[in-house]
Structure 1
Amino acid sequence: MLGYYDCVAHHIVHVDLRDVSFDPENRRMLKFVDEDGVVRSMPLHRIKEVFRSDMRIWHREH
């Protein structure tokens, strides 16, 4: 799972890694399906947390 900073909602949103892929046209962007089923794009610098087995293994401040 990864957490990204949502600039509109002003909080970190968590996304299952199974729903995330690299944008084939721009390797600095991720694509994922949100909880509403909408395909979203996000730049890599917005990733703020990474989890493995429900444990945070990496983070950076925003």
Structure 2
Amino acid sequence: MDKDKQLVALKRGFDELVDLAELVVTGRLQVRIAKEYPLEEIQAACDYVATGHADGKVIIKLTD
């Protein structure tokens, strides 16, 4: 694994979620977003994920 990438394991629980949020807010953990799709294009988003080429999270936007 590259030195700038880290694997984060999260147990289900509020305290762990708060800790994870703090890492994101402070910039110590960055979430890579591959693409964003409006809800109306959810099939296109699913098709994109199915290609296996998404190099980050695929976001489905519920509102603008």
Q: Give the TM-score band, short-chain normalised.
A: under 0.3
Q: TM-score, normalised by structure 1?
A: 0.21
Q: Which has the higher helix share?
A: 2
Larger radius of gyration: 2
TM-score normalised over the length of structure 2: 0.21
